[in-house]
Amino acid sequence: MERKTNRRNQLSDETRRRLLDAATEIAAERGYDGTSLTLITKRSGLPASSVYWHFGSKDELLAAVIEHSFQEWLPAVPRWAPMEPGTDRREHLREVLRQAGRSLVDRPEFMRLGLMLSLERRVVEPAARARFLEIRAMMLKAMSGWWESALSEDVLKERPSLPLQLARLHIATSDGLFTAAQIPDEGFDVEELMELLAEALDSVVERIVAELADDGGEASS
């Protein structure tokens, strides 16, 4: 009996994976509106009843696609853990952003579908879009927390919103770099541009520190 149960679970997992893979491919090609149950069932080779059984609706299936693609992307994404004492901030930032750039190139499905969804406006928000925005909020919080740990108490006292502003600037720039990477350009190098972004972000901090010092404070970065 246990063997039969395990077999059923394996088949159920396989069905779910096939539906997710098919929906991911079609959504990347056609967007949210162009992803129909007919196309999903045709590409997966599974009946529409399988979609309803495992996900309930196309909307919930695409929300699961966002979650699935995020979980596949996550291992390649750098962790925004606080820096160890004595770590060079700019060099650490360069390495973290280089890794982030590689992840966008190697596993673009999450960002591609998520950004398409984020640009849409509907009376009833799709579950997939809501899930993407939740994940972005988590990422923003993690990045903001890293900057808070990387800045001195003097800077944080004078500019308490700076960690969040730097995190927002990073995410907005990454969105633009990802979009640009989808356009054929032989000389486009995401990792190289991410390194420039790291230098730019750190230079912003250094400029603010210098301005605070000029104003009569003794801020350090």
Q: Which residues of 29-45 are buried (b: 16+ CB within 10 A; e: fewer)?
A: eeebeebeeebbbeebe
Mean pLDDT of the chain: 86
CATH T-level assignment (fold) for domain 72-219: Tetracycline Repressor; domain 2 (1.10.357)
pLDDT at residue 8 above 60? no
CATH T-level assignment (fold) for domain 1-56: Arc Repressor Mutant, subunit A (1.10.10)
pTM of the model: 0.82
Could you tell me if residue 120 is left (phi over 0), alpha (psi between -120 and 50 degrees) or otherwise beta? beta
53-84 residue pLDDT tens: 999 998 899 999 999 888 888 888 878 888 77
Angle at 173 between CA 158 and CA 89, to 5 degrees: 50
Domain limits, CATH 1.10.357.10, in the chain: 72-219
- Whole-number Cα distances in Å, 92 to 61, 89, 96, 168, 195: 38, 5, 6, 19, 10
Domain limits, CATH 1.10.10.60, in the chain: 1-56
The arithmetic mean of pLDDT across residues 149-160, rounded, is: 91
